Amino acid sequence: MLDSLETVINNYKQEDTTYVNLRLKFAARKMYLTPSDTSWLGYNLKTLKISKQKNYTKGIAVSYNNIGIIQHYFLSNPVNALNYYQNAYALIENNPKLEKYAVGVLTNIGLINYEQQEYDKALKSFKTLLHFPENKANTFFNIGNIYGQTKELDSSIYNYKKAIIEAKKSNSSSLLIANTKSNLGLVQTNAGYLEEGLKNTIESLNIIEQHNLEILKVAAYTNAAEVYLKNNAIEKAEHYATNSLKLNEALNSLATKNSALGTLANVYEIKGDYKNALTTYKQHIILRDSLINADRKLEISRKEIQFEADKDRAIAQVEIERQKSIKNASIIGGSAFVAISLIGFMLYKRKQEAVSKSKEAEFNAKVSDTELKALRSQMNPHFIFNSLNSIGDYILKNDTQSASDYLSKFAKLMRMTLENSEKKEILLSEDISLLKTYMDIERKRFQNKFNYTIQVDESIETDEILVPPMILQPFIENSIIHGLSQIEEPGNITISFKKENNMLICSVDDNGVGRQTIERNIPTKKSLGMTITKSRIEIINKLKNTNGDVKIIDKEKGTRIEVSLPIHLAY
């Protein structure tokens, strides 16, 4: 069928709207089946060019959407994709005949929000799309993905099952059912339903093989690897993780590659192959960090706001032109009309100024949110690579027990950090656990050169108070690296939490060489930890109208840091 359609296109002699429709039909049927084919971008750009020459709105809109899909999924460039999606939607929104294409474009825009971890915004978009009955299966699937990412596993499972029911009811494609079952299997496994998860995973893999759904293999194999790993089927886990990485070389899906590397590192660790575990985990960490790109998120936010502003300007222009037409057509009562027009123009101008201020406030809020996410993702790369190198040293010395212990603690810290990286606040008890794991790793790396104690005031319930994650970590790192490493006697770090005037006072106290000695040795180096934490607290103060602060207290021997935070209860 596809071959015959391609033959018709090749033999068609005239570049008209029928020719455009044939090209769109062929792309819709084959593009998803061969995502690694690099000619698709040129193919759709040519369709777009012909559509513009013929002023064919449908061809232009669908071509924009197709090019957005290529940029989004095939080339991993969501910023460019968003441009094309928005151009497509702008045309569809103003042409009722193209309404059926709106669902696909809005879904793609929602998926960019999802992939950029803007889960609340994505969830709102997808719930709106539930009003389109012909697209319910896909929408339930996307909602299931969001709940899976936010760890609301029961809600995720519910929506995946609804997606499968709707897909079967509407005779949806095998691709959607296979994709849903793959994700459902992973979420069920993570929720502890190992038997059901494995069953859905196997069914998904069977559908993919039966229909040769190449586009799904990379993601489905990555999910399968994790499911088999949780079921302790190590060889199958290694098989699917390895094959996912091989297939991904052509597709170049960075997020999927990152997941596959993480799973494969765990496989190697379980098998006792610590050298490969270390190498693979390094690749996973480097790729993960490259995906957390605050600049990209900010650029997307700006483009979204710009898109809305352009729409407002277009509406305003239409209104102005309409007023001009009325004015030109009016002969009687000209003076009165001028007066009314002036009043209308003043009201209109005020309204536009209010809209402009609202847009500016929205933009500032997005900037603050993006900056806060960037700050939350801070984990000193030197610490990561020093830890990995320490693990490597143990492996080279054939000290597998120490390597295993170190890797286990390091993996736990990275997992906890990743889990909390998208949270603005976590429980104080969770943050203390993070700090303990971090300091245990550093103690081992520095040959137990220092000890630490954590003191919590009796009036504080650590399971009820929320704090920004790892807010003290940069100061602890400074104490260890710059303060305690330069003294001969054993070092001590005391971390304490107490209440004072409705504020939570978090302190780091060490007996190191002190700030003045550090500044004499490194006079030009500014404290990155101080800069980061002050920026975080400034954003918190702005958003919550509070007065948090950071103080440095120079002692006779050592330094004390006090971070003041507004007390925020979880309940």
For 315-354, how does the pLDDT look when each residue is reduced to its tens digit (9 = 90+)?
A: 555 555 555 555 555 444 544 444 555 555 555 555 555 5
**Residues 395-418 pLDDT 10s:** 777 777 877 888 888 888 877 777
d(CA 10, CA 426): 60
pLDDT of residue 381: 57
| pTM for the whole structure | 0.43
Q: 234, 192 in Cβ contact below 8 A?
A: no
d(CA 421, CA 564): 21
Non-local (6+) Cβ contacts of 413 within 8 A are 434, 437, 438, 441
Containing 16, the helix (H) or strand (E) segment is none
Where the chain has pLDDT below 70, the residues are 1-2, 172, 250-253, 289-383, 385-386, 420-422, 516-530, 571
| Residue 449, CB-side half-sphere exposure with 13 Å CA sphere | 18
d(CA 562, CA 496): 9
Cα 240 to Cα 229, 248, 296, 491, 548, distances in angstroms: 10, 12, 31, 47, 49
Query: Which backbone phi and psi does 472 adopt, to 5 degrees?
Result: -90, -15
Q: What is the dihedral of CA 369, 375, 379, 381, to 10 degrees?
A: 110
Q: 182, 203 in Cβ contact below 8 A?
A: no
Number of H helices, E strands in the chain: 23, 8
d(CA 426, CA 488): 37
Token look-up 């990995």 returns 388
pLDDT of residue 376: 45
Spell out where 402-528 has E strands: 426-427, 450-456, 465-467, 491-500, 503-510
Angle subtended at Cα 545 by Cα 544 and Cα 546, rounded to the nearest 5 degrees: 90
User: Residue 527 is encoded by which pair of tokens?
Assistant: 């404290």
Length of the chain: 571
Q: 471, 450 in Cβ contact below 8 A?
A: no
Q: 180, 165 in Cβ contact below 8 A?
A: no
Beta bridge partners, 568, equal 466
As a whole-number percent, the residues of the chain with pLDDT over 90 amount to 22
